[in-house]
Structures are given as C-alpha cells and as structure tokens.
Amino acid sequence: MDFKSNESIKRSDKVYKKLKELTESLNFNDFNGPLGYDALYIGKILNISRSNTSRELNKLLKSGKAIKIKGKPVLYLDRLYFKEKFSYRFTKSVFEDRKDFVNTLTSAGILNRESFQLSQNNHNKFINAKKINNKYSESILDNIIGAKSSLKEQISKAKAAILYPPNGLHTLIIGPTGVGKSTFAEMMYKFGVEAKVFKSNSPFVVFNCADYAQNPQLLMSQLFGHIKGAFTGADKEKRGLIEEADGGILFLDEIHRMPPEGQEMLFTLIDNGKYRRLGETENVRSVKVLIIAATTENPHSALLHTFLRRIPMVIQLPSLDKRTLIERFLFIYQFFYEEYERLNVPIKLENDALKAIMLYDCPGNIGQLKSDIKLICARAFLDYIIEEKEMVEVCLSTLPQNAKEGLLKIHNLRDEIVFKEISNNGDIVFSKNTVGVKDKLNINFLKSSYSADDDLYDFIMDNWEKFNRQGMSSEHIRENIENQIQLYYKNYLYPIEQDTDGVNRSVLFKFVDPYILTAVEYAFNAVRESFDGVITQKAIYLLSFHIKTMIERLKVGIAISHPDRESIARSYKSAYSAANVIKERLEEKLNIDIPEDETAFIAMFLQALQYGKNSSKIGILVMAHGNSTASSIAEVTNRLLGTDHVRALDMPLEEKPEVTLNKAINMIKEIDQGKGVLILVDMGLLRTFSDIITEKTGIKTRTIEMVSTPLVLEATRKALTPDMEIDKLVDEIISLHPLLSGDGNASDITSGANNISLYEKNLKDLLAQTLNFLNPDKVYPVLKGILNDILNEKDKKVEDEIWIKFLFHCACLIERAIRKDYLPNSDLDVIKSRNNGSFQLIKEHFEAVENLFGIEIPDSEYAYVAEMIDTYIDTLELRNMTHI
C-alpha cells in the first residue's frame, strides 16, 4: 500500500511541503522547540541527500518562499507561514545568526522572549542529537530485521524523531495489517531509553482507538480523563492515558478510528503540551508526551489535514512481499526458534518445507507468518506426541495447502543467491545448540553473500588494536593483518555467484549503487598496469563494498583514521602510490573529499592482493577421456571463480596412454608452484598416473576420480586458500564425498559402486531439470524403494527401462498432487477391474508418499502407474517366452 499525496512528487515540491509542515509544527506563542530545520534533517526525513536538499532549500530562498538563519547548522523556515499566520512580512530573507532572527520575531510580537532564552541551549541540544545519532549507530533499532536494507530509511527517520530536541517529533507510522507497526513503535521507545532521551522507568502507553470508536465520549475520557460529574456515570475523578504517559510515549494505534472531534482535542496537546480533563473549564494541565500514531489507511483521506500537518514525521513500513528473501528467512528462523523455546523440544524444519514457507503468499504479512508458523508447529507437535518421535518434524505434509503452494514459485527464484544458499544448506534443527545457524547459512540480517557491513575499517582497526595489546611490532602487525585481509577477501568473494559474464551485477546492484562500481572500475584502470593480474573483477567488487561503507561513514560524520598511515606509506611505497591515484580518481568521479588516511586502507588492500597473487598454491589438473571433456570443465570452473588456475588435459579415445602420460608430466612441471598438484580424473588408467608422475618428477601429486564440474569447483576454491596443503585438501574433499577415491592406490570403492554413484548423479541431475520445485534428493530414494517393493511382490527385477519411466512419471505426479492439478483417466474403471492386484498394491505402497508430502493422490493418477507396471511385467514375460 503506497500512501502518496496527490501533490506533485517533484523533489522541489517534496522539500517545500515538508518545510511547510515542520514550520507549522512550531509554536511561537510558547516556544520550546528548534528555531528552524537544517538540510541534513529534512533530507533524512525525505530520503534525499543533504546536498540535493540544500540545493532545493536555496532555490526556495531565492524564490521568496523560505528564510535562512546562518550558523552551524544553517536553518530554514517557511517564509509564507509567518505572512499567513501572523500577517507579518519579513524585510529580509537571510538572518546573520539566531540572535538576529529572535530579535526580529520579538520586535514583531511573534515570539515571547521570556519563553525563549537564546543561549547555546537549544543549539547544543540540536548538535548533541546528531552526536547521539552517531553514537547509537548500532542501537536496539539497528537490531530489527531489515535495519540495513528494506528498513534502513525507516530506522533513520525513527532515530531522528526520538532524538530531535527538545522533546522529539510526533510520528505517524503507516502500513498494512501485520507489518509490525506496534513493534516498531515500541522499539522507538526502547531506543529513546537507550539514548537517555527517556528515563528507564518512563511510560510507554498503548491505546487502540478502534476499541472505543463507537463511543467518542468514552474514548475522550480514556485519553484525557474526566472530573466527577463530567457526564452521566462519571461518579469520580479519573486520570487519563495522556497523564499516565507523561515523560514518555503515548502510542495511538488505529488512529484513523479516532473521530474528528477527538483529533481536534489533541491539537492543544500537540501544540503546547497542555490539555484539560473532560468537564474542566479553567484548570489547564501540562505534560511532556511524545505521540506515535499508527494507521493502515491513507492518512490524507482518513485523518484531518489540520491534525496531519501537526505530525511532522511519517514512517511507512513495507509489506512482507516488499521485504528481501534474507529478511523473510530471518523472520521464519526467529519464529521457529521461539516455538522451540516455548515447547522445549527440538524442532527439525525440513528444507522443502522451509522453501515453501519462504515463498507462499502471506497477505497478513509478518503477523500472519508468525501465526501460520505457530499452527504448523502445533500440527507437528501433535505428530511428535502420537508417533513418539525424537523431535518435532516440520515437513511438507505438516504445512497447510496455501503454504505448500509456495513451492510453485520456486522456478522464479532458482538463480536468486539467497535462495540457493538456503536450498544448499539442508534441514535446520532448532535446539539448545541452534545459536549460530544464521551465521553458518551466511545470510543473517547484517551480512549476506553480497554485503560488507562488517566493513574493512572495523576489521583492520580491531585487529590492529588486538595485536598492539599483545606487544607486536608494527612490522609483525602488518604481516598478520595482511594474511587476515586475504582470508577476509576470500570469505566475502567466494560465496558470490557468477553468470557467464562474471559476477551477477544485477544482484550486486541491490547492495552497491552502480555509480560506485563504475567509479571503482575507473579508478582501478589507472593503476592496472602496475598491478597486473591483481586487479580482477572480484577485487573491484570487494573494493566497491568498502567504498560504499566509506561514503556512509563520511555522510554521518564518522572519522576515518588509520592507526599507522605513515608506516604504511614507507613500507608499501608502490601500493601507497597506487592507492593515492585511486583515491584521487574516486574523488573526481564521486565528487567527494576523501580523507588522507583512506589511502592507507586502500594500500593495505592492494598489498594483500599482491601478496596473495605471489604466494604459492596447489596446482589443479583435470584429465578426462574425450576430445573436450576436461577442457570444458576447466573453462567453466575458471570462469565461475574468476581465475585461470585450473588446467586441462583431454585424452582422445584413440590416443595411447603413454602419450597422455608424457603430456601430463610436462604439464605438471608447468603447474607446480611448490605445493604439489591435485589431479582430477574421470576413470580408467588415468587414476594410476599419480605415482608415476611423482616418481619421474619428484613433484607431489594426488588423484581424485569421478571428476565433475561441482567437484572441480570445490577443489579449486579450497586449493586457492593460502594455508592449504595437498593432503589436507584431498581429505576434506573425500570427507564431503565419501564415494570418491583418494589417490590411485588407496581406493576401496569398486568400479561398480563408482558407476552406480555416477548413474544416480546423472539421473538426479536430469530430474532436477525436469521438476519445478521438488528436491530430487528427497524424491529419488523414496520412489526407488517403492518400485523395488512393488516388483519384489510381483517377483520381478527392476531394470533401467522401468526405473527411469517410474521415477520421472511419479516425481511429476507428486508435483501435480501438491498443485492439485490431476490428470484424468478415461480407462480408470477398466484398470481397477483387473484381477492382477497391481492397482491396490500401488495404492498401499504410495501411502508413504502421501504422508511424506501431505498430499492425496486420486485413483486416476494411480491408474497410470498401474498401467505402467503391468505393461513392464507383460514385456518381461513376453521376453522370457521368446527366449524359451
């Protein structure tokens, strides 16, 4: 739901409209607020940069619509407001300082000097608010899911509303049902306590206007209180919620249900902090209350304009479908963990169920998601009790139909990085050992595969301080940090998925603005020759993250200071000189001033890349039968990882083994960097080459067979790690793939087992390409077991012919059943009437499938399976008769 005014949405109109609203919110009769508003503050509210906001304000100044008060910061007000409200015309538009402006207002009778003491008090409060904002850059508000992404603007506005002197800004939170408006308001209150704007025991009073919408008098009584005899039934004096909220926040939920007269009664409270109880005529009470209101409606049509203009801060919360996949996962994670804590029984969330919950339509937003997960866990808990399971198991069959339908959307998200991360991480078990699962999945709300919020500044500074405390010399500190930067570099870049053109830029642009990436590419081009082979696309992407963080720090005034810049400049002259060129080009392209200390950070980054390039790595050689098998695997791996590390040797089928061996020996000599070479082969004699090559060359080699692109990708990524050794590399790969052999002499796996494994892998790969959303690894063993059981009872063996047909047909059948999109069968009655028992036998064995996936399979679908089985059996019997 997007609540935009019908007014022009041009930037200049937005700025002027907000300036008018802010000026109108000031009360010059009993002044206790700011003298005006600066460009940074207005820009934060509107999500417009400070420079652009300042430009628009100065245009308004020139056109006679604004007045300007010089000082730090420069303040602005709506000039026309004073003409309309006080019939006063300013003789000038620019005031030299705050004293000049106050003198003008007091001379005109607009401002009562007694109620306003011009000291540094208000100004200092204003400046302190900014300092507090910086101080609490990692506050309780920053722990809200989405604080660094879809709620970034909203968090900034919330902080500004709480911190703005002297008493904050009244706020309206807008959003559809279930987006978390009440929670957001409460977090604003907690932030206020954290920032010491409110005392720790300050009240947070909640009032839902809908509860009294049909009785305006009772609503007013609840809010304002009443005196005895104020109305029929008012037998005694009563305090109102406004009085209870004194010194804190009054949260008015569903404010659109408050009648117009109720909104009008709030005017005096908002304007002056004063009110009367119902029935009072003379006694005026004073309170200090910050109002936060919330509505699901369009405020321009649901609230009085005169009320709305008194609420200077408007925060719109997005619906769940506008949140990122990372955020949705984190809500799911949080809600399941809460259910585990409530039940005190481990909960296993199967991967297919997780994917469905990630994608199903949730019109009730976060609130509905939480309720649905409660219901899902309740169903699973019932199964846990009845079936005496070890843990509560949430699988597809546990999900309601609307949640299962989320799997239908999976084909649209196959290439989404976050979804791939989730799909590849298996089931999640929520238990006392669950802490850290989000980090293992690499997708918590402060860091994703593309995020660098854990920025290089903090990384270097924290390590520098740690090593310094340990008494290390500057030289040793630099060496240690260089090694860690390399690991930092790889940890961020390896997860980045790539397409045929390299890293997926469209996904990257969700986290780094295109103009930053363009500027970094432009800057790197100036030093590319000096750092040949170091400045890869991956290096450009990582530095782009770093520059993004630098710009964000500069915007909020966080100093950029390196602990040992001069030493870096002396020790890394070449890198420092190149970093200086990069800095100058970035300044030119981004139109910003970059502190000198930033040069040292960039120099350390370049030095680490250079060091990483020069350090030795384990060689990788792919060997396979055929004219291009090995070359194709190597090419794909090198492209995906942005390297040229993988070498290939194709063995044509007609080529003699000794010829291939000699080629391999020569290639191994070229490849070896001193740490040995891992040879990845497909089959046959190639697996025996390792010992011969080592004997003839003295170069340590190891062999792993059953080569595939995923295997080579994994081996190469690990081989490029600086501290990796070849034996450790082989052990790690085999531990992940137990069916792989070690070197050519140590395999206990028969060729038959290898062939079966490869056969299954190929079948699953084909099945994955056929299915829309089911997991082949889950479907494959279930269907294999069912077919074996059915044919065993028929005293028949399973051959490839029936297995492949059965697998693909039944896997697609399960997907149809989940969608409830069944195939009709005109021969159903004929098939069911056969006396061979196949139909009933199949139904009995498929009960396991129905229970596992929570589906019902109609007889029409079973008939097709029965016909397939009967045809196969008839074919076998005919073949046997022919053989006889």
Do 794 and 866 lie in one domain? The reply is yes
Residue 616: pLDDT above 80? no
Q: What's the burial of 107, exposed, middle or buried (CB within 10 Å: 0-12/13-18/19+)?
A: exposed
Of residues 150, 208, 158, the one with CA closest to residue 185: 158
In a domain, 51, yes or no: yes
For the segment 798-822, the average pLDDT, to the nearest whole number, is 86
Residue 820: pLDDT above 70? yes
Find out whether the peptide bond into 166 is cis, omega within 30 degrees of 0. yes
For residue range 62-118, list pLDDT tens digits in order: 999 999 999 878 899 999 988 888 888 898 999 998 888 888 888 888 776 555 554
For the segment 166-172, the average pLDDT, to the nearest whole number, is 89
Q: Which of 734, 749, 764 lies at the terminal end of a domain, its last residue?
A: 749
Q: What is the CATH number of the domain that holds 198?
A: 3.40.50.300
Of residues 614, 638, 829, the one with CA closest to residue 715: 638
In a domain, 418, yes or no: yes
In a domain, 649, yes or no: yes
Do 237 and 296 lie in one domain? The reply is yes
- Helix ranges (DSSP H) in 526-628: 537-555, 565-571, 573-590, 597-614
Question: Pick the residue with more confidence: 791 or 608?
Answer: 791
pTM of this prediction exceeds 0.85: no
For residue range 406-426, list pLDDT tens digits in order: 887 776 665 454 555 666 667
Helix (H, G, I), strand (E, B) or coil at 430: strand
Residue 830: pLDDT above 90? no
Buried b (16+ CB within 10 A) or exposed e, 242-252: bbbbbebbbbb
Do 632 and 585 lie in one domain? The reply is no
The token pair at 516 is 């930053």
For residue range 312-335, list pLDDT tens digits in order: 899 999 999 988 888 899 899 989
Q: What is the pLDDT of residue 421?
A: 60
Question: Pick the residue with more confidence: 415 or 257?
Answer: 257
Q: What percent of the chain has pLDDT over 90?
A: 22
Do 310 and 346 lie in one domain? The reply is no
Buried b (16+ CB within 10 A) or exposed e, 411-439: eebeebbbbebbbeeeebbbbeebeebbe
Residue 447: pLDDT above 70? no
In a domain, 837, yes or no: yes
Helix (H, G, I), strand (E, B) or coil at 795: coil
Domain that holds residue 255: 152-318
Do 241 and 375 lie in one domain? The reply is no
In a domain, 296, yes or no: yes
Task: Supply the mean pLDDT for the chain.
Answer: 79
pLDDT-based confidence at residue 695 (cuts at 50, 70, 90):
confident
Q: How many helices (H) and strands (E) does the chain have?
A: 39, 21
Question: For residue 822, what is the DSSP state?
Answer: P
For the segment 768-783, the average pLDDT, to the nearest whole number, is 84
Would you say the C-alpha torsion 278, 280, 281, 285 has a positive or negative sign?
Answer: negative
Residue 224: pLDDT above 80? yes
Phi/psi at 315 (5° precision): -120, 120
For the segment 202-224, the average pLDDT, to the nearest whole number, is 87
Buried b (16+ CB within 10 A) or exposed e, 800-818: eebbeebbbebbbbbbebb
Do 526 and 572 lie in one domain? The reply is yes
For the segment 452-471, the average pLDDT, to the nearest whole number, is 60
DSSP labels for 714-735? HHHHHHTSTT--HHHHHHHHHH
CA dihedral 295, 300, 303, 304 (to 10 degrees): 160
Distance of CA 236 to the CA centre of its chain: 54
Do 95 and 75 lie in one domain? The reply is yes
Do 597 and 466 lie in one domain? The reply is yes
In a domain, 340, yes or no: yes
The token pair at 570 is 């002396």
SS3 track for 362-407: CCCHHHHHHHHHHHHHHHHHHHHHHCCCCCEEECHHHCCHHHHHHH
Of residues 536, 690, 685, the one with CA closest to residue 613: 536
In a domain, 851, yes or no: yes
For the segment 776-801, the average pLDDT, to the nearest whole number, is 88
Helix (H, G, I), strand (E, B) or coil at 488: helix
Lowest-pLDDT choice from 550-559, 570-579, 712-721: 550-559
CA triplet 133, 137, 140: central angle to 5 degrees?
A: 100
238-239/225-226 β-pairing: antiparallel
DSSP labels for 292-346? EEEESS-HHHHS-HHHHTT--EEEEPPPGGGS-HHHHHHHHHHHHHHHHHHHTS-
Do 712 and 844 lie in one domain? The reply is no
Q: What is the pLDDT of residue 373?
A: 94
pLDDT-based confidence at residue 248 (cuts at 50, 70, 90):
very high
Q: Which of 749, 774, 799 lies at the terminal end of a domain, its last residue?
A: 749
Q: What is the pLDDT of residue 349?
A: 93
Residue 852: pLDDT above 80? yes
Phi/psi at 67 (5° precision): -120, 155
Q: Give yes or no for a contact between 804 and 783, defined as CB atoms under 8 angstroms apart.
A: no
Of residues 794, 802, 811, 797, the one with CA closest to residue 872: 802
Length of the chain: 884
Q: Give yes or no for a contact between 462 and 692, defined as CB atoms under 8 angstroms apart.
A: no
Lowest-pLDDT choice from 119-133, 307-321, 373-387, 588-602: 119-133
Of residues 457, 589, 450, the one with CA closest to residue 512: 450
Phi/psi at 105 (5° precision): -65, -40
Do 701 and 583 lie in one domain? The reply is no
Distance CA 687, CA 693 (A): 11
Question: For residue 428, what is the DSSP state?
Answer: E
Of residues 485, 553, 552, the one with CA closest to residue 512: 552
- 119 C-beta neighbours (distance < 10 Å), count: 9
- Total structural domains within the chain: 6
Q: What is the pLDDT of residue 490?
A: 46
Number of C-alpha atoms within 13 angstroms, CB side, residue 597? 12
Q: What is the CATH number of the domain that holds 730?
A: 3.40.50.510
Distance CA 340, CA 201 (A): 32
Q: What is the CATH number of the domain that holds 17?
A: 1.10.10.10
Q: What is the pLDDT of residue 756?
A: 41
Residue 8: pLDDT above 70? no
Helix (H, G, I), strand (E, B) or coil at 794: coil
For residue range 712-744, list pLDDT tens digits in order: 877 888 888 766 889 888 887 776 655 454 433
Question: For residue 495, what is the DSSP state?
Answer: T
Q: What is the pLDDT of residue 317?
A: 95
Question: Pick the residue with more confidence: 749 or 481?
Answer: 481
Do 701 and 785 lie in one domain? The reply is no
Of residues 175, 151, 158, the one with CA closest to residue 255: 175
Q: Which of 613, 628, 659 lies at the terminal end of a domain, its last residue?
A: 613
In a domain, 127, yes or no: no
Residue 602: pLDDT above 70? yes
Q: What is the pLDDT of residue 69?
A: 93
Residue 443: pLDDT above 80? no
For the segment 612-619, the average pLDDT, to the nearest whole number, is 70
Do 187 and 231 lie in one domain? The reply is yes
Question: Pick the residue with more confidence: 352 or 750?
Answer: 352
Distance CA 394, CA 429 (A): 10
For residue range 345-404, list pLDDT tens digits in order: 999 999 889 989 999 999 999 999 999 999 899 889 988 888 888 999 999 888 988 888
pLDDT-based confidence at residue 227 (cuts at 50, 70, 90):
confident
Q: What is the pLDDT of residue 186?
A: 94
Partners of 679 in the β-ladder: 621, 703
Residue 133: pLDDT above 50? no
Question: Pick the residue with more confidence: 47 or 223?
Answer: 223
DSSP labels for 171-208? EEEE--TTS-HHHHHHHHHHHHHHTTSS-TT--EEEEE
pLDDT-based confidence at residue 529 (cuts at 50, 70, 90):
confident
Residue 211: pLDDT above 80? yes
For the segment 696-719, the average pLDDT, to the nearest whole number, is 83
Q: What is the pLDDT of residue 438?
A: 46
Distance CA 100, CA 95 (A): 6
Distance CA 763, CA 777 (A): 10
Q: Angle between the 50-62 and 11-24 helix axes, to the nearest 10 degrees?
A: 80
The token pair at 667 is 């290639």
Q: Give yes or no for a contact between 619 and 673, defined as CB atoms under 8 angstroms apart.
A: yes
